[in-house]
Structure 1
Amino acid sequence: MTKPSGFDPRSVPESNSTGYPEPYAARARKRWYRRLGDHAGLSHFGVNLVRLEPGGRSSERHWHREQDEFVYVLEGETVLVTDAGEELLGPGMCAGFPAGAANGHHFLNRSGRDVVFLVVGDRTPTEEATYPDIDMHGRTGPDGRMRFTRKDGSAF
């Protein structure tokens, strides 16, 4: 018997875990996400429902070598920070980050209420993430998880 395809996103567990090493992990504690793509059994692209508490950030500013990334704002106002500066995005606005475009980006919540947005990206098995503002580099390991080192390759 085939299980139904539809589901309530609130039924997917919410987590604020991160693979970032300290001190960067602490800066991600106000970011919560639900892995909707995993819940739906998707294997070619990921879909995450992200919630930023007031004062939260989506990630450290980064760009992807192999993976496209798309963000659609559902609730609240978030500050998109890129190499070009800052831009306020509200509900219904979106942003896209093509693979290989060296334009570091992240989202900040400077408001007094939660911000909610969808993040969609492909699951290219060989991925690298560059963090222009900090001494960190990410590379996907054989198990599909991102591993972080300093830019010279040394461990944290």
Structure 2
Amino acid sequence: MSIWWSLHLRREAASVPLARRLLLGTMETAGVDPDISYDLSVALSEACANAVEHGGVTTDGSPQAYRVTAYLDGEKCHIEVTDSGPGFTAPHRAPRPASFDAEDGRGLCLINELADHVQIGNKPDRGGAVVSFDKILKWRKDAPLMAV
């Protein structure tokens, strides 16, 4: 069983729950374990929030769009969020936990904790950030689309 979808979203806060709900609905319909679905939805929300905050603007000052792509393929889910902002300014290492009283800076650390494999970097062609992550899926016993 494979499911694939891609969204092209405006860099607005309202786009984050839209992406999260689509992911949760897809995984519920497929029969993915709710705990795995929740972890991935939180990780996706953090990646989208980063794209909304840092994704860049057009020449007229309006927000650019960002893209979310998700693949449920066999036993794994792969999610990628790309934007057209300035990208990461330095080679990106594993996220460090933010200080206890920090107002921001926890998103990439959360993604790293919730996913099995995380890649953070820049798009090689036009600039912009890429955050992608994978998680091994677990299935409900009654899963209608469970991988075999």
Fold agreement, TM-score > 0.5: no
| TM-score, normalised relative to structure 1 | 0.30
Using CA pairs under 8 Å that are at least 6 residues apart, name the structure with larger relative contact order, 1 or 2: 2
| TM-score, normalised relative to structure 2 | 0.31
Higher strand share: 1
Higher helix share: 2
